[in-house]
């Protein structure tokens, strides 16, 4: 994503006379934006620094941005291995996220392939119906889904949560766009060689759209990891809680231990930060491409 975003600069800096003043402006604006950016991230900086402190220092004013007394190891150990144990919430969240990504990518990619590369009667109507489901706000379906889950035995299970988050028109739509960019000749010639759709899908089509699959999988990870509403409603047993439910429960249980709560929130954000920094191009590119929200 970084390469296509070529700066609009040439038009400006090509003005012959003001070369050095343009550079100066640039340095000043960069400095200002840096200050604004730090202010913008102050809540995160406060969170991180509070998670390293002893409880007594958390609310000291003026704020000690760099803790005078370090209590980081203690705090994080209590959060991760104490009661309730964060490590369990982590495991639950990883489990739910990975299963959701696998199911969601598989179902979306297969449907997207069908809707772009296979000709069958009713295809376009079905695709429009899939797209129409995108307009239904998930929040409006909580009541019927809850009743359904109670009667199907999916309530209070991880698999129920996974099923609920796996089927969305969005993935189908995004991956269909990707498949459409594959030339039909590729597929026709494979067919002439005697390959069925299953083989073409696995060996030709999927590898060609790999970057799009990665983008979708990462966005799905971020949305699933961050989801609070579905686990809140569809999970009841504390041992099944995901990280988002877990930190809230933890915050309620530990009450006034803000240093511990901040260690918990830092731990909840950390995987997102890692994924984001590693797969920045995919995340930003995916957002810019579809302009989509979970």
Partner 1 sequence: MDRSTSASSSSRLSRSRSWWSMTAKETLAGYLFAAPMLLGLTVFILIPMISLFFISLTKWNFIQGLSGVEMVGLDNFRHLFQDKTFFVSMFNNLKLLLAVPVALFLSLIIAIVVDELVYFKGFFKIIYFMPYISSIVAVAIVFQILFHPSQGPINGFLMSLGIENPPKWLADPTYALPSIMLIIIWTSIGFNMIVYLAGLQAIPKDLYEAAEIDGASKWRQFAAITVPMLSPTTFFLLITGVIYSFKTFDLIAVLTQGGPAKSTNVMVYEIYDQAFVNLKMGYAAAESVFLFAVILLITVLQFWGQKKWVNY
**Scanning residues 61 to 80, which ones bind partner 1 (CB under 8 A)?**
61-63
Complex with partner 1: residue 122 or 183, whichever CB lies closer: 122
* By CB under 8 A, residue 136 contacts partner 1: yes
- When the beta carbons of 74 and 167 are compared against partner 1, the nearer one is 167
| Subset of residues 163 to 202 that bind partner 1, contact rule: CB under 8 A | 163-164, 166-167, 169, 172, 196-198, 201
* Residue 149 per-residue DSSP state: H
Q: Is 53 helix (H, G, I), strand (E, B) or coil?
A: strand
Least CB distance to partner 1 at residue 13 (A): 10
- Cα 269 to chain centroid, rounded: 11
CA distance 40 to 116: 43
Nearest distance, CB of residue 106 and partner 1, angstroms: 7
> Can residue 247 be called a binding residue for partner 1 (CB under 8 A)?
yes
- Only one of the segments 36-44, 79-87, 181-189, 206-214 lies at the binding site for partner 1 (rule: CB under 8 A); that segment is 36-44
Residues 10-29 that bind partner 1 (CB under 8 A): 10-12, 25-27, 29
Q: Does 212 bind partner 1 (CB under 8 A)?
A: no
Least distance between partner 1 and beta carbon 112 (Å): 8
* Dihedrals phi, psi of 70, to nearest 5 degrees: -85, 130
User: Six-digit token pair at 276?
Assistant: 């984001």
| Cβ neighbourhood burial of 270 (10 Å; 0-12, 13-18, 19+) | exposed
Reading the block at residue 24, the tokens are 């100066």
Left (φ > 0), alpha (ψ -120 to 50) or beta: where does 66 sit? beta
Residues contacting partner 1: total by CB under 8 A:
101
Please report how close the Cβ of residue 183 comes to partner 1 at its closest, in angstroms: 18
Using CB under 8 A, which of the segments 94-102, 178-186, 207-215, 286-294 binds partner 1? 286-294
- 159 touches partner 1 by CB under 8 A: no
- CA–CA dist 72, 252 (Å, integer): 21
Side-chain-facing half-sphere of 87: CA atoms under 13 Å:
7
Q: Output 115 or 212, the one with its CB closest to partner 1.
A: 115
Alpha-carbon distance of 40 to 144, in angstroms, equals: 40
List the one residue out of 44, 42, 38, 39 whose CA is nearest residue 268. Answer: 44
Smallest distance, Å, CB 189 to partner 1?
15
Q: Which residue from 19, 56, 69, 123 is in contact with partner 1, where contact means CB under 8 A?
A: 123
- Using the rule CB under 8 A, is 253 a contact of partner 1? no
Which of 48-51's residues contact partners 24+ apart within 8 Å by CB, and which partners?
Answer: 48/262, 48/266, 50/258, 50/259, 50/262, 51/75, 51/76, 51/259, 51/262, 51/263, 51/265, 51/266
274 binds partner 1 (CB under 8 A): no
Q: Does 255 bind partner 1 (CB under 8 A)?
A: no
236 binds partner 1, rule: CB under 8 A:
no
From residue 73 to residue 112, the character string flagging contacts with partner 1 as x (rule: CB under 8 A) and all else as - is ---------------------------------xxx-xx-
Task: Give the nearest distance from C-beta 195 to partner 1 in angstroms.
Answer: 12
The answer to whether 214 touches 149, Cβ cutoff 8 Å, is: no
């Amino acid at each position: 994503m970084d390469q296509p975003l070529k700066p609009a600069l040439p038009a400006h800096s090509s003005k012959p006379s003001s070369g050095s003043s343009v550079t100066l402006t640039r340095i000043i604006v960069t400095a200002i934006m840096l200050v604004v950016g730090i202010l913008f991230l102050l809540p995160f900086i406060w969170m991180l620094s509070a998670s390293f402190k002893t409880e007594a220092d958390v609310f000291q004013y003026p704020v000690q941005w760099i803790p005078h007394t370090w209590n980081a190891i203690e705090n994080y150990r209590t959060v991760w291995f104490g009661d309730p144990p964060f490590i369990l919430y982590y495991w639950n969240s990883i489990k739910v996220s990975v299963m959701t990504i696998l199911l969601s990518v598989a179902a979306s990619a297969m449907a997207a392939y069908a809707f772009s590369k296979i000709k069958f009667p009713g295809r376009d109507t079905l695709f429009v119906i899939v797209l129409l489901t995108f307009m239904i706000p998930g929040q409006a379906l909580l009541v019927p889904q809850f009743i359904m889950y109670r009667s199907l035995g999916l309530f209070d299970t991880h698999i129920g949560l996974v099923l609920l988050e796996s089927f969305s028109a969005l993935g189908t739509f995004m991956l269909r766009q990707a498949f459409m960019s594959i030339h039909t000749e590729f597929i026709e010639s494979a067919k002439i060689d005697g390959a069925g759709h299953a083989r073409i899908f696995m060996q030709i089509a999927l590898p060609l759209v790999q970057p799009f699959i990665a983008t979708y999988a990462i966005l799905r990870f971020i949305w699933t990891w961050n989801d609070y509403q579905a686990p809140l409603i569809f999970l009841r047993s504390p041992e099944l809680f995901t990280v988002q439910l877990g930190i809230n429960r933890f915050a309620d249980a530990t009450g006034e231990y803000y240093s511990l709560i901040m260690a918990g929130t830092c731990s909840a954000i950390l995987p997102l930060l890692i994924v984001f920094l590693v797969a920045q191009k995919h995340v930003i590119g995916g957002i810019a491409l579809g302009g989509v929200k979970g």
